[in-house]
Structures are given as C-alpha cells and as structure tokens.
Amino acid sequence: MSQIKIAVVLLVAILLQLSLRGVWQPLSYIDFPLVVVVYIALQRDAWQALLVGTLAGLIVDAASGGLIGAGGFSKTLTAYIIYFAATRVNLENPLLRIPVLAAGSVLDSAIYVFWHRVLGNPPTVPFVQTMSYKLIATTVVGTLALYMLDALVAERSAQRRQFATRRRVARRSTGPLRRR
Amino acid sequence: MALLVGNLIIMAVDARDPDGRPKMLRIWTQSFASPLQNASSKASGATSGFFQQIWNFRSTAKENEQLKERLSQVENELHAARQAAGENDRLQALLNLKEQTDIKSIPARVIARDPSVWFNTITINRGTSSGVEVNMPVVTAGGIVGRVITVSPWASQVMLITDEKAGAGAVVGQLGQSGALGSVRGRADLGAALVEMRYVSGLEKVEVNDFVMTTGQDGIYPPGLNVGRVVDVKPGTTTQAHQILIQPGAQLDHLEEVAVLLYHPPPRSVPEQTPPQNADRTRR
C-alpha cells in the first residue's frame, strides 16, 4: 500500500515539475522530485530511496535539455547520503529536516552541474545564483511538503506517534505517586 | 552502486556527439517523455484556468448570486474568445510569415518548457512524423526562436537563441547594405531577455533601435529573418569590436505557437585548392 502511495506521490511531483515552469517561471526553482527523494531517504528505506531517486532524475532528464542520467545520478547519490546520515543520526525531529532538505538541494545541484561540466555540457545559467534560488525555494516549499507527506504517506510515523502517546499515558498511570 | 554506474553510462552515451546525427537515446527518452509533457501541459493550462476563474469570481464577490454566475459565464466566454482571437492572430502572423519567406514551414505548439532550472529549452508537438529534423530553425512572426536539437516521432526539443551554446550569423541593418556582420548568442548573466552580438567591427555604425537580421552564414537560419533590435551599444574602436545587446523580436518568455522552417541550407562549396601544408605533403 505504501509503495502505491509513494508511486502516486512521485508521479504528482514529476507532473508538477514538468508543468509549473509553464505557469510561472520562478516556480521551476522548487525541486518536487527531490523533496520526495529526501522524504523517502529519511524513512531509512534505502532501496526505495535509491530507486525513486534514479527514476525521478531520469524522467526529468528525459524532458530537459541537460544530459540524460545526470539528474538520476545526482538524486541517487543524494538519496544514499541522506539515508546514510539518517541511519547514524536521529533526524526524526521535524526541525532537523530543514537543514537536511537544504543540504540535499545543494548536493543535488552541485553533483548535477559537476557532471555537466566534466562531460562538456555546462549549464547556461550562473551556478551560485541558480543554486541559491533553488535552495531557498526547495527548502521553504519542501518543508511544508514534508509535513503533507507525513500526513499522507507515513504509516510508520503515525504508528510511532500512537505508540508514543500510549507510552506517555501508561507512564502517567504508573508514576511514582500512584505506585505508593 | 549499480544505479550510479548505470546513470553514469547513460550520461556518457548522451554526452557523445554523433557528428550531427540524431541521438538514439534522446529519441527514445523524448518519445517516452512527450506524452507526460503533453499531459502536464494540459494540466498546467487547466490549473492556470482554474486560478484565473477563482480570481474572476473574487472580483465579483459583492454582486448577488445570479449576477455573479452570469458575470462569470460572460467572463469565461470573453476569456475564451480573447484566447481564440489571440491564437488566431498569432497563427495568422505565422501564415503571413510562411507566405513571405517562400520556405515551407509547419506550425507547432509549445507543449513544455525545460523542467530543470539549469537549461532553457522548449518542447514542441512536432517531430519526425511531420518532417522536422535536427538543426531546423524555429521562428515566430516576431523573429527567430532557436533551432531543433532533438527530434522524436511526435515531439522535438528546441534550443532557444538565448542559450550560450546557440548562435546565429547576423547583421545590423539591411542584409546586403550593411557591413556590421557578427554572431548573435546568449549569455548566462543576461538571462532570457537579451542576447549579445559579437565580432561587429568597431568601424561600423551601430545605433540603438537598429534592426538585426540573419545572414544565413551559420548554416541553420535562412537569410533575412528578424532577430531583434539593438537596445545597448558600447562603441568599439578600430581594433576592438562593438559590444551590442539585442532584445529578441520573438517573445521567448511567452511562446505558445511557433513555426518550424523546413529549411535545408545550401551545401557549402569545397575549396578547390589544397591548403599549403597538404600541398607540401603531396609533393613529397
């Protein structure tokens, strides 16, 4: 069930990415597929994160003027690094997702542009300026999107929240005063 | 690791330049992406229509229900009529262009813009099935738009003239009368609004508002097409070229309909004499 939900979310993210530039050019700075990739990597599901990263990157590459595979590579590597960090550091706190999203955006842009420069097809826009706009837009919109994804997709986090509430209630009922 | 290596191989294959021939990988991916792009184009059209309607409704919020409904209906009809009239004008202009240039052309609709922020290409709904080939020029009634860089059976990708890698041979003023020849190309810091014209001799007279036309020397665009008009000139000297900025005649930010010119440049003549170095070798 969760796979189907992720597939639907990914499809919506890709469609948004393909269509929003036509509505208003600055909206293209928001990297929706990257937000989904970061979200899945934070769930500590390595295979799903890597596959979603590759798929999302390749589909966007197919419709873009850049090299096919560059987006796939950058998103896959970003997914792996975030997954690696999430398995070693506790990134469950919603506030910690903001720097993770920002770092993901910078990493994705840097790897994407690096491969284009190495393979002789450098992007035509100024790197630092574009990366900064992308970082701001993706982080701001992505933070909100992660909350929405939590509500829509995360069965695990919902279960975790339920367990936490139950545990708190149980502790209250067996507190030091009651024990006496 | 396998996924990363796979992506790297795809990138390396795509980065190879197969001597101007269409890239098979691009054709396949474009064929796969074009239905998605078509769908997203329709979806974005519907979304902007939806928000437009919300906006329209907001402006008539104080009216009573009956009037509001009637007004929104009329506004929708008017909006649709204006869109149709605008489209009609643009297509008429393309038709006039077709009659003026004597070059066969096919109208096309812009179905998508580059989804990444790093590149600035557009995708049109015509491909090899309509006779489109790589390097064919794409124009509007206002001026040149760019050239086709990838074709698939039903869609093509177009590199805009504002791209740094795009170039067009051009002349300031009338072709055949002016000697202010140069090359027009995009520049990263200028964005999509302006292009730069290089190599125009500092001895030639160039002024703001002068028109810039194609010369046909680039082997892509036919001669005599409008490029745009000069908006800024930093005068050169006898040894330095002018620094010229041009505003493209085509409205590249709001492209909806374009025309692909089915133009094949005349073959370049091969020089009859061999270069001196080769001549020496043959003598030996």
Cβ under 8 Å to B: A residues 38-57: 50-51, 53-54, 57
ipTM of model: 0.72
CB contact under 8 A, A123 and B14: no
State the pLDDT confidence band at A107, using cuts at 50, 70 and 90. very high
Q: Collapse the DSSP code of B228 into the 3-class scheme (helix H, G, I; strand E, B; otherwise coil) and give the result.
A: strand
Is B115 close to A124, i.e. CB distance below 8 A? no
Tell me if the pTM is above 0.90: no
- Comparing alpha-carbon positions, the chain B residue that sits nearest to A58 is B7
HSE of B2, CA atoms in CB hemisphere, 13 A: 2
Tokens of B196: 């730069």
Q: Which CATH number is A42's domain given?
A: 1.10.1760
CB A82 within 8 A of CB A38: yes
A positions 113-172 inside 8 Å of B (CB): 113, 115-116, 119-121, 123-126, 130, 133-134
For residues B232 and B190, is the Cβ–Cβ distance under 8 A? no
Q: What domain count does chain A have? A: 1
What average pLDDT does chain B have?
Answer: 79
Domain that holds residue A27: 2-179
Residue ranges of E strands in chain A:
none
- Determine the average pLDDT of the residues in B254-258: 85
- Domain extent listing, chain B: 168-252
pLDDT digit string, tens, across residues B95-144: 666 666 678 888 999 988 888 888 888 899 898 999 999 889 999 888 89
What pLDDT shows up at residue B21?
61
Is there a contact between B247 and B210 (Cβ–Cβ < 8 Å)?
A: no
pLDDT tens-digit map of B186-203: 887 776 778 899 898 888
Please give the CATH architecture assigned to the domain spanning B168-252.
Beta Barrel (2.40)
Give the model's confidence band at A25: pLDDT under 50 very low, under 70 low, under 90 confident, else very high.
confident
